[in-house]
Structure formats: structure tokens, C-alpha cells
Amino acid sequence: MTEIKVLFFATLRDRAGLREAQLELPEKTAVKELKLLLAERFPGISESLPTVLVAVNREFAFDADLVPDGAEVALFPPVSGGS
């Protein structure tokens, strides 16, 4: 098993109801699979997960990237802007 820390930012923090969570994952879990697990554990953020920005150990990560043991995973809602 892999142990990670997940950090929730901005509206995701409000919807999850906490700032961070410790999770155990099967080895070789990809970011996409992590999002599915998070949707089950924290239903309040499930709608946002398809568009969240994910950072693993402070580097942006994509759905196919694996989550290493001891990782810090940060979830950010998408940012929109204008001029």
C-alpha cells in the first residue's frame, strides 16, 4: 500500500469539509484512479474532479502519472480569468 497526503485548496476545501486527508492507495495508482477514489470518499468534490488541477510533490501531474508512496498531492479548482 501507498500512503499519501491530499491537500484541498479553495472551493475544494469547502466542499470536502477539510484541508487535508491521509489516504492509503494500492501501489501504482495513477492520478486518474486517485480522482475516482476521492469522488467516493468525498462526494462533495466529485463534480469538480474532472477539471481539477493536480500537483504531486509540487509538480503538475496528469491522469496517467503514478502517485508515489509518501506523496503530497494538492488539488486546485480550475482557474478562470479575463482581462
Question: How far apart are alpha carbons 39 and 16 in whole angstroms?
Answer: 10
Query: How many domains does the chain contain in total?
Result: 1
In a domain, 82, yes or no: no
Question: How far apart are alpha carbons 49 and 82 in whole angstroms?
Answer: 23
65: domain CATH number?
3.10.20.30
One pLDDT digit (tens) per residue for the chain, 83 residues:
889 999 999 999 999 999 999 999 999 999 999 999 999 999 999 999 999 999 999 999 999 999 999 999 999 998 765 55
C-alpha count within 13 angstroms, C-beta hemisphere, residue 26: 6
Residue range(s) defining the domain that contains residue 16: 2-76
In a domain, 83, yes or no: no
In a domain, 24, yes or no: yes
